[in-house]
Structure 1
């Protein structure tokens, strides 16, 4: 595992924690690899019935590590690690539950679209700021988000990149249930433990049926987005946006 992704397994629940608190759980290539490896292990383990993912320190994830992205822009083939994670995530056959506090930005927000249940603090906020960075949506969000909330609302969220507060996300169906600040992990764990007690084969077959109609479309979206994303990383717009972001943070 990465130093910034922890794993524990208890009562049939695999708990994955993004634990890079000083960077608001920004995700590096090593973390992508660790997450992909953990999900692949879970697929083949009869001891794991459900996977729960959450973030340490008050935020779910601030998305991709921008400093690392600047380096990836010079060698886009390094994106293969993140694309592998997204493929593993999108094909994951066991229930996947997220507990969300604080900010869920970029891939921190788009990975939630692949979860079967999302439990969020009332203070949580989702953001999809790809266009502002000169990029395009990823993680099949260009397909999944319109399917969930309709084209017009998805266009607004993906183009403008404004924060979506937890209440709005709940009303749009992106979040199952809301809770008080600091309680999302425990609420997500309660649901995970409840699902872990259900008949395993029935759960797997039922999730497969729910995902069946969009299965091929999701994979096609991942391929389309990946190609465009890789091209955009080389663009002058993206380079300027990254520079502006890093200078603003300084």
Structure 2
């Protein structure tokens, strides 16, 4: 299947986009600024993840930094942030750019991977890691949620995502101290799919993992499983109903038939059904009153 979008024509400057089969690798291109969260980076990340979400050719998206960059991301560009705070919108109208990026990544129906091949501070830990499905990290990366040491509050929906990933106790320890920690710290145990000794190996290891997902899983199943995980019911019975309806919807589809046939023929599956024509987000009603994103 050929990509339905010419990503090179989208005018990206802060990111570089490359395909490895059905895996889209997005590399932050602000090494001189230590990949700080400024200039056009936020809006370009939103655009690339929203575009990948609609592109049936894309099955996995990886975000990473150049291997020679001084950091994965050292946080928000202070000058950009101060200008952002001075906008004329009222307090209730302000929209955190990091939160908008986090939402674009979190809502992407494709499998998403953060290949953290350098130090990650602030937004480098929040928007550029927490909303991803999988995280691979360099063993010697320095990590921090420094907000309370800067006189500001956590951003990028981290107060929602971090407790869901690690529990409230560890989220408290990370967000209410602002301390610097390593990927091997017990505080982040379970956050990373793999901790990798050599910095230059982070992307290759993540890419091999991504290619396995792209080759051997149904993007329809991935999308619906993500939806169920992100929108659970409040009781066991509600989740039973959610699961049952989704099982029924997907069980009658072409990918389910292909999966059964692949087992019967003792071969790998060839899932080719497009997500764009097989998406049933019945658990997530659209709220048209929700404020539009502002960048």
TM-score for the superposition, normalised by structure 1: 0.79
Cα distance in structure 2, aligned partners of 1:131 and 1:2:
33
Instruction: Output one character per residue of 1:44-94: Cα deviation in whole Å (capped at 9) or x when no partner.
Output: 111100100001214211111112112222227585654432321221111
Query: Matched residue of 2:136: which SS?
Result: strand
Does residue 28 (structure 1) correspond to residue 38 (structure 2)? The answer is yes
Unaligned 5+ segments in structure 1 are 217-222, 227-250
Instruction: Output one character per residue of 1:67-125: Cα deviation in whole Å (capped at 9) or x when no partner.
Output: 21122222275856544323212211111001112211111101211111111111112
Cα distance in structure 1, aligned partners of 2:106 and 2:222:
17
| Aligned match of 1:151 | 168
Residue number among 176, 200, 214 corresponding to 1:196 in the alignment: 214
CA contact (8 A) 1:101 1:121 kept: yes
Deviation, structure 1 residue 211: 2.0
Cα distance in structure 1, aligned partners of 2:219 and 2:102:
24
CA contact (8 A) 1:29 1:82 kept: no
Cα distance in structure 1, aligned partners of 2:88 and 2:105:
21
Deviation, structure 1 residue 143: 2.1
Does residue 179 (structure 1) correspond to residue 196 (structure 2)? The answer is yes
Does residue 88 (structure 1) correspond to residue 104 (structure 2)? The answer is yes
**Greater percentage in helix:** 1
Deviation, structure 1 residue 149: 2.2
| Aligned match of 1:130 | 147
Residues 39, 125 of structure 1: CA spacing in aligned structure 2 closer, same or farther, 3 A cutoff?
A: same
Cα distance in structure 2, aligned partners of 1:178 and 1:172:
10
Give the greater-gyration-radius structure (CA): 2
Within-5 A mapping of 1:97-246: 97-111=113-127, 112-168=129-185, 172-182=189-199, 183-197=201-215, 198-213=217-232
| Aligned match of 2:71 | 59
TM-score for the superposition, normalised by structure 2: 0.67
